[in-house]
Amino acid sequence: MDAGSGRVLAEQDADAHLEPASLTKIMTAYIAFQELSKGKLHVDDMVTISPNAAKAEGSRMFAEPGSSVAIENLLKGMIIQSGNDASIALAEHIAGNEAAFAEIMNQNATRLGMVNTHYVNSMGLPNPQHYASARDLAILSRALIADFPDYYKWHSIKEFTFNNIKQPNRNRLLWQDPTVDGVKTGHTSGAGYCLVASAVRNNMRLIAVVMGAKSDRIRATANADLLNYGFRYYESRPLYRANEKLTEAHVWKGAESLVPAGLKQDFIVTFPRGQYDSLKASMEVGNKSIAPVQAGDKLGEVKVSYNDEVIARQDLVALETVEKGGIFKRLFDEIAMQIKK
């Protein structure tokens, strides 16, 4: 997946329900980053480690029960060391318990459009009702990187020491490819070896997801192959910038007859390398908008095609608000609308 445009460049069984193992922690990190960005958490807040968190099975950061650990260290212990104890401690601190935290995870998954994902815990221990798809994990990783770039940087740290125990990041691509800066590994006997990897080359970011590999080496090689394929055969460019006027739309019964129209976010298009001149852009603007029109209301659509196939589309929205016009303007436009029918 291209992180800028969201376009998927290669896929196989992308919507299958699979065990995500510690790829689950991408969502746990996403929610913690949300809380930090809202000011509800702070990196130096201290969290008391519960016995439940301290006795977590699997990979751990080795936080002692009853000890106090800073949020930043818990996040690094979860992201870099893949600590299940850190994941549980964060979940309990944010939501009170893991079940309540899982509800928050599922709410965010729904909001992000992750239609083939369901969480029951914060760290990824196996459960029949705990699953995700490769596509959903790419969607989540794209949001994590876009929404929280400052905190995302922790995913590129190669090792972390806590409680005098140094542990490496299990993402071996961080050592093999300097363009890779994340995201997360996962492994259980049922899930196999999983990895979400992201890299930036020439201002283009790609996200690769591999699940169910038979070894650490195979998952790293498969992710590297996907990234190299995407960078070799595709390129991305911003065609239009957010909040720039692209056209105008007619407004009936408004204080103004025209409203400037543009995009809510940058329109980035991913296409086969060297084929920029073959792209065709078109705009469709509706003529049935009736005041009041609020800034952000959909007015039409922008499409980009390559070889007669639509490869990108985005809503054309009002860039300003248009209030209702006076009574005579409304009456005049009502007559005009009837004539145009």
Per-residue pLDDT of 142-157, as tens digits, reads: 999 999 999 999 999 9
Given the residues 5, 59, 82, 236, select the one marked as catalytic: 82
Residue ranges of the domains in the chain?
A: 21-234, 241-340
The 10s digit of each residue's pLDDT in 156-211 is: 999 999 999 999 999 999 999 999 999 999 999 999 999 999 999 999 999 999 99
Q: How far is CA 27 from CA 18, 24, 52, 68, 75, in A?
A: 16, 6, 20, 23, 12
Taking each helix axis from N to C terminus, what angle separates 25-37 and 84-95, rounded to the nearest 10 degrees?
40
Given the residues 5, 25, 59, 76, select the one marked as catalytic: 25
pLDDT range class, residue 286, cuts 50, 70, 90: confident
Q: Which residues contact 123 (CB under 8 A, 6 or more apart)?
A: 22, 24, 25, 28, 56, 58, 84, 87, 88
The H-assigned helical ranges of the chain are: 25-37, 51-54, 71-79, 84-95, 98-112, 134-147, 149-152, 173-176, 216-233, 327-340
| Beta bridge partner(s), residue 186 | 194
Q: Is 25 a catalytic residue?
A: yes
Assess whether the region 21-234 and the region 241-340 belong to the same CATH fold. no
CATH of 21-234, one of 3.40.710.10, 3.30.365.10, 3.40.50.1980, 3.30.1300.10: 3.40.710.10
Q: Which region holds residue 192: left if phi is over 0, alpha if psi is between -120 and 50, else beta?
A: left
The 10s digit of each residue's pLDDT in 14-66 is: 999 999 999 999 999 999 999 999 999 999 999 999 999 999 999 999 999 99
User: Residue holding tokens 């590999």?
Assistant: 213
The 10s digit of each residue's pLDDT in 102-155 is: 999 999 999 999 999 999 999 999 999 999 999 999 999 999 999 999 999 999
Given the residues 5, 22, 59, 122, select the one marked as catalytic: 22
Instruction: Determine how many CB atoms are found less than 10 A away from the CB of residue 101.
Output: 24
CATH of 241-340, one of 3.40.50.720, 2.60.410.10, 3.20.20.80, 3.40.640.10: 2.60.410.10
Q: Is 82 a catalytic residue?
A: yes
pLDDT at 153: 97
